[in-house]
Structure 1
């Protein structure tokens, strides 16, 4: 993404494998971590959230709507982040990215861990889009650009990461171009 955006953009990555939206797995609850991460990097122009097939794990028993609601909790933290730490900064823009659906996993352990996850993952983009529309924030469906083609049916290959990075970069450019045009109007 950084390479596709080029100069003039500073990317801060806060990704972590196995992170969830708002449930503990164990201690990888995104909503417990996000406020401190946001505060440590203010001011921010844009926050991109791409989670979460981890919430489809069978032992969480979450519906696609409940998973999207977890994204909603994170979105609320972003949209109120500036005021939440006593700073004069405006809240950043937000881009919610729906993950692509899970693929079949060749590993029996992962198969049990993500039992029913494929079906849930098929519904995430629809629910995330509805949430983004409700919150009036930007949305991108990663499934329109990539598949989970890594060795385990859950993660991305190196090539898929590059493809997704380029797609997100184009969306980021569009977001900032639209903001510039709105300000000029």
Structure 2
């Protein structure tokens, strides 16, 4: 039976290209963004659902980009819309590092844990059980290019985000992947990924999924 994997993320799961300026937007093709690379590696027994919104935060209405960027309120509806969901891959937290939110890594991890709780307490997996969950920590940002001011102060504090996320994964008994151990953001804007890094990440996440034996 085909398994459904739901990717819940932000612009780096959406496939947004590194931004040369704040007015230019580009998106990689399905086959070149990491969820598509992952799906190809996993093979025909998997159905991919991409739920990736640029600017999405964990739990914060964004006063600049819009209240709809809050990843918490819509999550139960998304889970129910695609049920039964065998696996959720959760990769959020980069946008929480924006200077406008002023959050330390420990609080970003507390926020992502709210999303973990929704997923692991839901009945949207096979047979009414919760979906399996792979928690993915985004890589440290670089404070570069047109996003440097927006992410002012994020580079040093983002270095300890993976440790905080690993604590969440341990508390909930989750599979965990630290993207910072696989790739780094593009120096063009310090946040988004080059195409070759999408391919590297997609393959690494596919390996992590296969190890879960879902």
Q: Same fold (TM over 0.5)?
A: yes
Unmatched 5+ stretches in structure 2: 1-37
Q: Which consecutive residues of structure 1, in runs of 5 or more, have no partner in the other structure? A: 180-185
TM-fit CA distance, 1:162: 1.1
| Corresponding residue for residue 104 of structure 1 | 143
Partner residue in 2 for 1:146? 183
3-state SS of paired residue (1:143): helix
Give the deviation of 1:150 after TM superposition.
6.0
Equivalent in the alignment of 1:58: 99
- 1:122-150 CA-to-partner distances (Å, cap 9, x unmatched) read 11100000110011111000111110116
Mapped to 2, the partners of 1:153 and 1:68 lie a distance apart of 21
CA contact 1:150–1:156 (8 Å) conserved in 2:
no
1:114 and 2:151 equivalent? yes
Q: CA deviation at 1:59?
A: 1.2
1:39 aligns with 2:80: yes
Which of the numbers 182, 196, 201 marks the counterpart of 1:164?
Answer: 201
Kindly provide the CA deviation profile for residues 92-125 of structure 1, in whole angstroms up to 9, marking residues without a partner as x.
Answer: 1111000111123122xx2221111112211110
> After TM superposition, which residue ranges in structure 1, 4 or more long, deviate above 2 angstroms?
none
Residue in 2 that maps onto 1:128: 165
Q: Select the structure that is richer in helix.
A: 1
SS of the equivalent of 1:152 reads coil
For residues 7-57 of structure 1, the C-alpha deviation after alignment (integer angstroms, 9 at most, x for no partner) is 211111101111000101222000112111111011111111011110011
Secondary structure in structure 2 of the residue aligned to 1:95 = strand
TM-score, normalised with respect to structure 1: 0.88
Structure 2 counterpart of 1:69: 110
In the alignment, the residues of structure 2 paired with residue 147 and residue 33 of structure 1 have an alpha-carbon distance, to the nearest angstrom, of 29
Q: SS of the residue aligned with 1:104?
A: coil
CA RMSD of aligned residues (A): 1.5
Tell me what 1:95 maps to. Answer: 134
Change beyond 3 A, Cα 1:96–1:112: same
1:22 counterpart (55, 59, 76): 59
Q: What residue is the counterpart of 1:7 in the other structure?
A: 44
Taking the aligned partners of 2:200 and 2:187, their CA distance within structure 1 comes to: 13
Taking the aligned partners of 2:201 and 2:46, their CA distance within structure 1 comes to 17
